[in-house]
Structure 1
Amino acid sequence: MTTTTNAGPLGLESRDTTAHTRSLVDKLWSYCDVLRDAGVPAIDYVEQLTYLLFLKMMDEKEKRAKEKAQRRGKPLPAPILPIGLNWDTLASKKGDQLKKYYEHLLEELGKKSGMFKLIFLGAQNKIQTPSLLERLIHDLIGKIQWSREGVDVKGDAYEELLSRSASDVKSGAGQYFTPRSLIRAMVDCMQPTPDDTIVDPACGTGGFLLAANEYLRREYPAETLNPDQRNRVTRGLAFHGVELVRGTARLAAMNMLSHGVVPDESYEIIEVADTLVTEPSIRATLVLANPPFGQKSAINVLGEGGKVLKDEAVYIDRDFWVTTKNKQLNFVQHIAKLMKIDGRAAVVLPDNVLFEGGAGETIRRRLLKEYDVHTLLRLPTGIFYAGGVKANVLFFERKRPAEGPWTSKLWVYDFRSGENFTLKQRPLRREHLQPFVDAYLPGKARDERVETDRFKSFTYEELLGRDKVNLDITWPRTGGRDDETQQTPEELARSIVADLRVALAQFEALANELSTSDS
């Protein structure tokens, strides 16, 4: 893991921090295999760690505050944890008594407000064997002085735990985890500022928000910020995430907390909601997102009397350009609407959003005309935990209403041809994306960009002239290697799966168009 620690001339401090982080992660992860044998999936293990680490961190913070007040002869501060619901009481118990108290503690803390509600509402004990729970509390968490660890170590350690749980294919946790190397490249291109309101409408475990926070900490030291800017960053007011699944939302909240972002009590930094059903509660100057892939909703939406509503009915009240059951297309519309004027966005989207007809064509036409859709990064396969995904990053900006189109040129960067990655043998790293970031020219005028074999521009007129305004643009490249002959059997299999997914999406889009024309 990389850190934001300032390294000396030889980078020794950074290496030492990274080694310490890895040691801490290995220690925390050491119990995962034991619990997995007891039927606790990796993602559930991280969730249980979240509860216990939060309690331990708050306990240490409370004790430090009391010691500081006593040294200065001042009144003791109010307790952070509710009386009788604290770490010491939990750690004093054993066996069935420990299990019973732990479950009581989770239930009672879930009734509180603020961060307690976000972390503990709906929390359940997934470790039903008292002896395993006892080992986790006494032998692991209880022996770590979390307050002694720096923000970088704590944050990177928790991120690494989430990364390891995402690789647990059976749990399906990978759907909430976007490769951090891709996220950091997107953030470096967008260059967030302390005055931005940064929103992720499908935040998962909070990777985009944290990368933006990391960028702000690196590029805008606290001493350079005014009080309002400093408060926005440290108290989380510059960030807002929306997540459908409460268990994932609590991981995002803990991720923010472990990275030193302590939300204001009156501010809901991670909102648990179906982002597509309701109007956005906060408008964004910067959107960073990887909406969930897949055509259909993960849940049934109920209407009056418990009746399951059709997808079209769910979004009928939204101010969308077109009504469709395609979730990715609805996320594009949602993101476009939640952006403030002059707001900007970088969004990961599957290929079908670029070529699908019907609603897809309507949305692309509106987006190209009313927004400045300026850059498209075509991603290779093998970088997501969901296998066989062909995806892209679309960069666009919202503009004031005008008669003419705002898009003048779409720059397409082909990072797909001749590039093959796997999660284990050749994972995507931040340096792999540096040529794209260099070509993007962050902070500079786009008319300074230079076309290359990988980077080409297409005018608004050329885009409209393509069948169904298809943005799934490819071109023959010179000097590139032959993809298929260079691929390993695993890479070739993934590529075939990805092609089949794209073909299935095309057939489904065609079926939807035929269904619409018949009705």
Structure 2
Amino acid sequence: MNTATIVQKLWNYCNVLRDDGMSYGDYVEQLTYLLFLKMADERTKAPYNQPSPVLPGYDWESLRWRDGDVLFDHYRHVLERLGTEKGLLGLIFAKAQNKFQDPAKLRRLIVDLIDKETWVSMSADVKGDAYEGLLEKNAQDTKSGAGQYFTPRPLIQAIVDVMAPRPGETVCDPACGTGGFLLAAHDYVVKHNPHMTKEERRKLREETFKGWELVQATARLCAMNMLLHGIGSQDFEPIVVADSLAADPGDRFDLVLTNPPFGKKSSTTIVGEEGKVSRERDTVERGDFWATTANKQLNFVQHVKTLLKQNGRAAVVVPDNVLFEGGAGETIRRKLLHDCDVHTLLRLPTGLFYAQGVKANVLFFEKKPASETPWTKKLWIYDLRTNMHFTLKTDPLQREDLDDFVACYFGLNGAGTEVAAGRRSRSPTWRPERPDGRWRAFDYEELLSRDKASLDIFWLKDESLEDAENLPAPELILQEIMEDLEGALAQLREMAGDLGSEA
């Protein structure tokens, strides 16, 4: 059975369960528990013959032969007991609860849908993509806010393509959500290195990826998603359930790929090296930060810098305010430009994210050794926002929409996988005689001379402002107005929170 058929089959059943009061997120969560138990059972049989990590009496077989209220009661006990275990088992089943209302519907999911497939024998691509498809559908349930941690997969693929992870390199996402960046990096390494040794494949599976996720339910989905893609094991747990901003973990990575959550975490304050402390309930000492700020995105930029090895590479999705905010924002940008090689900025179009009002960018930089002279020489900016219109449902972003950016990143000819060599051959598509070019460079001195060292740079003319005939469709105009208002309201709520008011 192919991926699309499996996804459709499982998703059709979700629509049945919705009538029972179960949300999309609840369904995927319950599916996570049952898929794990089914695969653990399959691995105990030939040709694998592996010992089961699941306690006897709480395994798949114990569910399969029960029915009615007996099954219902036993399923609840299985979730409670396995949630007390350690390792990957404990992560997946921590705080697990039975969300089914009807024993017959639970029985049907177990016997008719999951048990009829042999999940372990499927390729990692098929079963992983099937689960990923369910997560994407889950993210589309915007009413429940399920999309808040979901980065569009075409954008992730393009970012990973230009970052080009290699065998032996370690990859981290300090705000990993359901694991999109980590999985895409894994798939890239496998695809581009078909002749890896057995040891290289083991390291890829057990030593390469590390993610942090604050929300337990999301971490559970991520752990299962990675397991279905062949990453991790009962002994190796690639996901940490924690606030990654709370402290320097001590680990350092070759690549950091992340889309940190937008918004302000009101319960935590970051104290920088200058010793300033904001008035919040919890205080986190971070002497490795350049500046103190309550802006979570600016703190994530500093945290990513800490996580990188020397000459490590980062791609971070950041909202516009990170590019122009004064105070700590200016301090951080100036330090980042001096201490790191900030070489590329991708301005993203609106309409990509499930959270409305988001205007975002991808910032690419490399961590460098201490130097009296600045490491950033040129910042190359690709404007994919001006005169570009996407919507989540009717006109979603496709991977081919980013082909030109990827080609420009590698020097227009798509040259080579050697990242530094590709960047040396870059040339702008913008010129005075070609003012519609979306790709141009700005020197370090030019960046520092801008007000507050702002990196919020644009040069293309907005066609909708030039000619009424070129106006976008009315629904797109309305959508942009709504997004701007949502963004403004979010900022006002943060300001109210800072003033001690009710948000």
TM-score (norm 1): 0.86
Is 1:49 the counterpart of 2:34? The answer is no
Is 1:456 the counterpart of 2:440? The answer is yes
User: Cα distance 1:508–1:25, how it changes in 2: closer, same or farther (>3 A)?
Assistant: closer
1:241 to 211, 214, 218: 211
Instruction: Report the AA paired with residue 473 of structure 1.
Output: I
> Structure 2 matches for 1:21-170, cutoff 5 A?
21-65=3-47, 78-170=51-143
1:272 to 222, 226, 241: 241
**Alignment-derived partner of residue 219 in structure 1:** 192
Q: Contact (CA 8 Å) 1:368, 1:406: kept in 2 or not?
A: yes
Q: 1:510 Cα shift?
A: 8.6
Aligned with 1:367: secondary structure? helix
Deviations 1:381-431 (A, max 9, x none): 111111231100000000000001111110010000111111111111111
Q: Percent of aligned pairs with the same residue?
A: 54
- Counterpart CA distance in 1 for 2:82 and 2:318 is 38
- Counterpart CA distance in 1 for 2:481 and 2:135 is 29
- Counterpart CA distance in 1 for 2:122 and 2:115 is 14
Q: 1:80 Cα shift?
A: 3.5
Deviations 1:230-270 (A, max 9, x none): 211123x10000000111001001111111223360x3300
Q: 1:479 Cα shift?
A: 8.6
Instruction: Report the AA paired with residue 455 of structure 2.
Output: L
1:476 to 444, 454, 460: 460
**Alignment-derived partner of residue 207 in structure 1:** 180
Q: Contact (CA 8 Å) 1:21, 1:157: kept in 2 or not?
A: yes
Q: 1:372 Cα shift?
A: 0.6
Q: Contact (CA 8 Å) 2:261, 2:297: kept in 1 or not?
A: yes
Q: Contact (CA 8 Å) 1:356, 1:509: kept in 2 or not?
A: no
- Counterpart CA distance in 2 for 1:24 and 1:404 is 56
> Structure 2 matches for 1:365-380, cutoff 5 A?
365-380=334-349
**Alignment-derived partner of residue 467 in structure 1:** 451
- Counterpart CA distance in 2 for 1:392 and 1:478 is 18
Instruction: Report the AA paired with residue 16 of structure 2.
Output: V
Instruction: Report the AA paired with residue 31 of structure 1.
Output: Y
**Alignment-derived partner of residue 232 in structure 1:** 203
User: Cα distance 1:231–1:129, how it changes in 2: closer, same or farther (>3 A)?
Assistant: same
**Alignment-derived partner of residue 499 in structure 1:** 484
- Counterpart CA distance in 2 for 1:172 and 1:483 is 37
How many matched pairs? 476
Aligned with 1:276: secondary structure? helix
**Alignment-derived partner of residue 334 in structure 1:** 303
Q: Contact (CA 8 Å) 2:387, 2:462: kept in 1 or not?
A: no
- Counterpart CA distance in 2 for 1:88 and 1:164 is 30
Q: 1:512 Cα shift?
A: 10
User: Cα distance 1:427–1:196, how it changes in 2: closer, same or farther (>3 A)?
Assistant: same
1:425 to 394, 410, 419: 394
**Alignment-derived partner of residue 403 in structure 1:** 372
Deviations 1:283-307 (A, max 9, x none): 111000000011334x679xxxxxx
Aligned with 1:64: secondary structure? coil
1:181 to 154, 160, 165: 154
Q: Contact (CA 8 Å) 2:127, 2:228: kept in 1 or not?
A: yes
Q: 1:165 Cα shift?
A: 0.5
Q: 1:496 Cα shift?
A: 1.7
Aligned with 1:97: secondary structure? helix
Q: 1:128 Cα shift?
A: 2.9
2:224 to 230, 254, 258: 254
Deviations 1:129-182 (A, max 9, x none): 222222222222122222342221101101100000000112211011100000
Q: 1:185 Cα shift?
A: 0.2
Q: 1:225 Cα shift?
A: 3.2
Q: Contact (CA 8 Å) 1:279, 1:318: kept in 2 or not?
A: no
Q: For structure 1, which segment, 442-451 or 154-163, has the greater mean C-alpha deviation from structure 2 after superposition?
A: 442-451
**Alignment-derived partner of residue 10 in structure 1:** none
Aligned with 1:146: secondary structure? coil
- Counterpart CA distance in 1 for 2:446 and 2:73 is 67
Is 1:447 the counterpart of 2:424? The answer is yes
